[in-house]
Amino acid sequence: MDANLLITLQNYWLSEKEAKIYLSCLELGSGPASTIARYTNEKRVTVYSLLKELKNKGIVNVLERKDTKYFSVVSPKILAELLEQKFLQFKEKVPEFLLLTEKIGTAPKINYLEGISSLEKLFADFATTTEDMRVILWTPQRHKKTFSLYAWPYRMMRKKKWLISRRIVTADNVDVKKELADDKLHGRKTVIINDFPLPIHADVNIYGPGKVAIVFFDKDNIPHALIIENNEVYTTMVGIFEYLRVSHTKKVIKKKK
Protein backbone atom coordinates (compact mmCIF):
# COMPACT_ATOMS: atom_id res chain seq x y z
CA MET A 1 0.00 0.00 0.00
CA ASP A 2 1.49 3.32 -1.09
CA ALA A 3 2.38 5.34 2.03
CA ASN A 4 2.35 8.66 0.14
CA LEU A 5 -1.18 8.05 -1.12
CA LEU A 6 -2.28 7.19 2.41
CA ILE A 7 -0.87 10.47 3.72
CA THR A 8 -2.52 12.40 0.87
CA LEU A 9 -5.92 10.93 1.72
CA GLN A 10 -5.41 11.72 5.41
CA ASN A 11 -4.55 15.32 4.57
CA TYR A 12 -7.84 15.63 2.73
CA TRP A 13 -10.69 14.48 4.92
CA LEU A 14 -10.13 10.75 5.62
CA SER A 15 -8.80 9.12 8.79
CA GLU A 16 -5.86 6.69 8.58
CA LYS A 17 -8.09 3.58 8.61
CA GLU A 18 -10.57 5.11 6.17
CA ALA A 19 -7.68 5.90 3.83
CA LYS A 20 -6.46 2.27 4.07
CA ILE A 21 -9.93 0.98 3.22
CA TYR A 22 -10.27 3.37 0.27
CA LEU A 23 -6.94 2.33 -1.24
CA SER A 24 -7.67 -1.36 -0.60
CA CYS A 25 -11.03 -1.16 -2.34
CA LEU A 26 -9.42 0.60 -5.30
CA GLU A 27 -6.91 -2.23 -5.60
CA LEU A 28 -9.47 -4.99 -5.04
CA GLY A 29 -12.18 -3.51 -7.22
CA SER A 30 -14.92 -4.74 -4.89
CA GLY A 31 -15.33 -7.33 -2.17
CA PRO A 32 -17.13 -8.29 1.02
CA ALA A 33 -16.11 -6.76 4.36
CA SER A 34 -14.24 -9.96 5.34
CA THR A 35 -11.97 -9.74 2.28
CA ILE A 36 -11.30 -6.03 2.83
CA ALA A 37 -10.52 -6.76 6.50
CA ARG A 38 -7.90 -9.36 5.55
CA TYR A 39 -6.41 -7.03 2.93
CA THR A 40 -6.12 -4.12 5.39
CA ASN A 41 -5.18 -6.31 8.37
CA GLU A 42 -8.02 -4.78 10.38
CA LYS A 43 -10.82 -6.42 12.37
CA ARG A 44 -13.93 -7.24 10.33
CA VAL A 45 -16.18 -5.38 12.78
CA THR A 46 -14.01 -2.27 12.50
CA VAL A 47 -13.92 -2.46 8.70
CA TYR A 48 -17.68 -2.95 8.44
CA SER A 49 -18.29 0.08 10.68
CA LEU A 50 -15.90 2.24 8.64
CA LEU A 51 -17.45 1.09 5.36
CA LYS A 52 -20.82 2.20 6.69
CA GLU A 53 -19.42 5.64 7.56
CA LEU A 54 -17.78 5.96 4.14
CA LYS A 55 -21.07 5.03 2.52
CA ASN A 56 -22.75 7.87 4.41
CA LYS A 57 -20.05 10.21 3.05
CA GLY A 58 -20.82 9.09 -0.50
CA ILE A 59 -17.46 7.35 -0.98
CA VAL A 60 -18.51 3.68 -0.75
CA ASN A 61 -21.05 1.87 -2.93
CA VAL A 62 -22.79 -1.34 -1.83
CA LEU A 63 -24.07 -4.13 -4.04
CA GLU A 64 -25.83 -7.16 -2.54
CA ARG A 65 -25.51 -10.55 -4.26
CA LYS A 66 -26.74 -13.84 -2.81
CA ASP A 67 -27.14 -12.39 0.69
CA THR A 68 -23.56 -11.03 0.62
CA LYS A 69 -22.74 -7.33 0.51
CA TYR A 70 -19.96 -6.29 -1.85
CA PHE A 71 -18.28 -2.95 -1.26
CA SER A 72 -16.54 -0.69 -3.77
CA VAL A 73 -15.41 2.94 -3.71
CA VAL A 74 -15.95 5.89 -6.03
CA SER A 75 -13.15 6.80 -8.42
CA PRO A 76 -10.48 9.33 -7.39
CA LYS A 77 -12.03 11.85 -9.81
CA ILE A 78 -15.39 11.62 -8.06
CA LEU A 79 -13.66 11.81 -4.67
CA ALA A 80 -11.92 15.01 -5.83
CA GLU A 81 -15.33 16.44 -6.84
CA LEU A 82 -16.75 15.58 -3.39
CA LEU A 83 -13.81 17.32 -1.73
CA GLU A 84 -14.28 20.36 -3.96
CA GLN A 85 -17.97 20.54 -3.08
CA LYS A 86 -17.14 20.41 0.62
CA PHE A 87 -14.53 23.14 0.17
CA LEU A 88 -17.01 25.40 -1.64
CA GLN A 89 -19.69 24.77 0.99
CA PHE A 90 -17.23 25.66 3.74
CA LYS A 91 -16.03 28.75 1.86
CA GLU A 92 -19.61 30.03 1.67
CA LYS A 93 -19.87 29.76 5.46
CA VAL A 94 -16.57 31.56 6.22
CA PRO A 95 -18.29 34.95 6.83
CA GLU A 96 -20.56 33.29 9.41
CA PHE A 97 -17.55 31.71 11.15
CA LEU A 98 -15.80 35.10 11.22
CA LEU A 99 -18.83 36.65 12.89
CA LEU A 100 -18.27 34.25 15.80
CA THR A 101 -14.70 35.48 16.25
CA GLU A 102 -15.91 39.09 16.40
CA LYS A 103 -17.92 38.25 19.51
CA ILE A 104 -14.66 37.50 21.32
CA GLY A 105 -13.56 41.12 20.92
CA THR A 106 -9.84 41.74 21.32
CA ALA A 107 -9.02 38.42 22.99
CA PRO A 108 -5.77 37.13 21.44
CA LYS A 109 -5.52 33.87 19.54
CA ILE A 110 -2.51 31.92 20.76
CA ASN A 111 -0.85 28.97 19.05
CA TYR A 112 1.95 27.08 20.82
CA LEU A 113 4.48 25.06 18.79
CA GLU A 114 7.22 22.79 20.12
CA GLY A 115 10.05 20.73 18.60
CA ILE A 116 12.19 20.81 15.48
CA SER A 117 9.32 19.66 13.22
CA SER A 118 7.21 22.62 14.38
CA LEU A 119 9.63 25.04 12.67
CA GLU A 120 8.11 24.05 9.33
CA LYS A 121 4.69 25.23 10.54
CA LEU A 122 6.24 28.40 11.96
CA PHE A 123 7.90 29.45 8.70
CA ALA A 124 4.78 28.48 6.74
CA ASP A 125 2.89 30.94 8.94
CA PHE A 126 5.56 33.58 8.32
CA ALA A 127 4.90 33.05 4.60
CA THR A 128 1.32 34.32 5.05
CA THR A 129 2.52 37.83 5.96
CA THR A 130 1.24 40.68 3.82
CA GLU A 131 3.91 43.16 4.87
CA ASP A 132 7.60 43.43 5.66
CA MET A 133 8.67 41.22 8.57
CA ARG A 134 10.12 42.97 11.62
CA VAL A 135 12.49 40.81 13.67
CA ILE A 136 14.35 41.35 16.93
CA LEU A 137 16.89 38.57 16.54
CA TRP A 138 18.46 36.76 19.48
CA THR A 139 18.96 33.23 18.06
CA PRO A 140 22.49 32.01 18.90
CA GLN A 141 24.77 31.23 15.96
CA ARG A 142 24.58 27.49 16.63
CA HIS A 143 20.83 27.44 15.87
CA LYS A 144 20.91 29.39 12.61
CA LYS A 145 21.49 26.28 10.47
CA THR A 146 18.41 24.68 12.06
CA PHE A 147 16.31 27.68 11.07
CA SER A 148 17.70 27.77 7.53
CA LEU A 149 16.44 24.21 6.86
CA TYR A 150 12.83 25.39 7.18
CA ALA A 151 13.04 29.02 6.04
CA TRP A 152 12.84 28.48 2.25
CA PRO A 153 9.00 28.79 1.86
CA TYR A 154 9.11 32.14 3.68
CA ARG A 155 12.12 33.39 1.69
CA MET A 156 10.54 32.36 -1.62
CA MET A 157 7.31 34.17 -0.67
CA ARG A 158 9.23 37.34 0.23
CA LYS A 159 10.99 37.36 -3.12
CA LYS A 160 7.70 36.81 -4.92
CA LYS A 161 5.93 39.63 -3.06
CA TRP A 162 8.98 41.93 -2.95
CA LEU A 163 8.84 42.04 0.85
CA ILE A 164 11.82 42.86 3.09
CA SER A 165 12.89 41.37 6.40
CA ARG A 166 13.75 44.29 8.69
CA ARG A 167 15.91 43.06 11.55
CA ILE A 168 17.49 44.29 14.76
CA VAL A 169 20.41 42.09 15.80
CA THR A 170 22.61 42.08 18.90
CA ALA A 171 26.26 42.34 17.87
CA ASP A 172 27.51 39.83 20.45
CA ASN A 173 25.25 37.12 19.02
CA VAL A 174 26.20 37.05 15.34
CA ASP A 175 29.00 37.27 12.83
CA VAL A 176 28.40 40.95 11.99
CA LYS A 177 30.22 40.98 8.63
CA LYS A 178 28.39 37.86 7.43
CA GLU A 179 25.00 39.17 8.56
CA LEU A 180 25.43 42.40 6.63
CA ALA A 181 26.82 40.59 3.56
CA ASP A 182 23.82 38.24 3.56
CA ASP A 183 21.34 41.14 3.58
CA LYS A 184 21.48 41.57 -0.20
CA LEU A 185 21.31 37.83 -0.79
CA HIS A 186 18.19 37.31 1.37
CA GLY A 187 16.40 40.65 0.86
CA ARG A 188 16.99 42.01 4.37
CA LYS A 189 17.80 45.27 6.12
CA THR A 190 19.72 44.65 9.33
CA VAL A 191 20.51 47.08 12.14
CA ILE A 192 23.32 45.88 14.43
CA ILE A 193 23.12 47.06 18.05
CA ASN A 194 26.34 46.77 20.08
CA ASP A 195 24.93 47.53 23.52
CA PHE A 196 21.41 46.16 23.42
CA PRO A 197 19.28 48.10 25.98
CA LEU A 198 16.96 45.20 26.86
CA PRO A 199 17.55 41.64 28.19
CA ILE A 200 16.49 39.54 25.18
CA HIS A 201 16.50 35.73 25.28
CA ALA A 202 14.10 34.99 22.40
CA ASP A 203 13.46 36.00 18.80
CA VAL A 204 10.51 38.36 18.33
CA ASN A 205 8.93 38.16 14.86
CA ILE A 206 6.35 40.83 14.04
CA TYR A 207 4.33 40.25 10.88
CA GLY A 208 0.94 41.06 9.44
CA PRO A 209 -1.85 41.07 9.68
CA GLY A 210 -1.61 41.39 13.47
CA LYS A 211 0.76 38.58 14.48
CA VAL A 212 3.74 38.27 16.82
CA ALA A 213 5.76 35.05 17.13
CA ILE A 214 8.15 34.62 20.07
CA VAL A 215 10.72 31.87 19.45
CA PHE A 216 13.30 30.47 21.86
CA PHE A 217 15.36 27.33 22.56
CA ASP A 218 15.28 25.56 25.94
CA LYS A 219 18.25 24.06 27.81
CA ASP A 220 17.97 20.89 25.68
CA ASN A 221 18.14 22.98 22.47
CA ILE A 222 14.50 22.23 21.64
CA PRO A 223 12.75 25.12 19.85
CA HIS A 224 9.50 26.58 21.17
CA ALA A 225 7.27 29.14 19.47
CA LEU A 226 4.32 31.16 20.71
CA ILE A 227 2.27 32.77 17.92
CA ILE A 228 0.02 35.56 19.20
CA GLU A 229 -2.63 37.01 16.90
CA ASN A 230 -3.90 40.24 18.37
CA ASN A 231 -3.87 43.82 17.01
CA GLU A 232 -3.04 45.43 20.37
CA VAL A 233 -0.03 43.15 20.96
CA TYR A 234 1.04 43.57 17.32
CA THR A 235 0.83 47.39 17.44
CA THR A 236 2.78 47.48 20.73
CA MET A 237 5.59 45.32 19.37
CA VAL A 238 5.78 47.37 16.15
CA GLY A 239 6.19 50.48 18.33
CA ILE A 240 9.00 48.89 20.38
CA PHE A 241 10.74 47.69 17.22
CA GLU A 242 10.57 51.06 15.47
CA TYR A 243 11.74 52.91 18.58
CA LEU A 244 14.82 50.67 18.85
CA ARG A 245 15.52 50.90 15.13
CA VAL A 246 15.15 54.67 14.83
CA SER A 247 16.97 55.54 18.07
CA HIS A 248 19.91 53.32 17.13
CA THR A 249 20.03 54.68 13.57
CA LYS A 250 20.25 58.24 14.96
CA LYS A 251 23.18 57.22 17.18
CA VAL A 252 25.02 55.72 14.21
CA ILE A 253 24.50 58.89 12.11
CA LYS A 254 25.69 61.08 14.98
CA LYS A 255 28.86 58.99 15.41
CA LYS A 256 29.65 59.31 11.68
CA LYS A 257 29.55 63.09 11.90
**What was the pLDDT predicted at 59?**
92
92 domain residue, yes or no: no
96 domain residue, yes or no: no
**What was the pLDDT predicted at 145?**
67
**What was the pLDDT predicted at 160?**
75
Shared-domain flag, residues 120 and 43: no
136 domain residue, yes or no: yes
Shared-domain flag, residues 114 and 210: yes
CA dihedral over 216, 220, 221, 223, signed as positive or negative: negative
Domain containing 223 equals 109-256
Q: Which pLDDT tens digits describe the chain residue by residue (257 residues)?
A: 778 888 888 888 888 999 999 999 999 988 899 999 999 999 999 999 999 999 998 999 999 888 899 999 999 999 999 889 888 998 898 888 877 766 555 678 899 999 888 888 888 888 888 888 899 887 766 666 667 677 766 777 777 777 888 888 876 666 667 777 777 777 788 888 777 667 778 889 999 889 999 998 888 888 899 999 998 999 999 999 998 888 776 554 444 44
**What was the pLDDT predicted at 227?**
94
Q: What is the dihedral of CA 10, 215, 212, 97, to 10 degrees?
A: 20
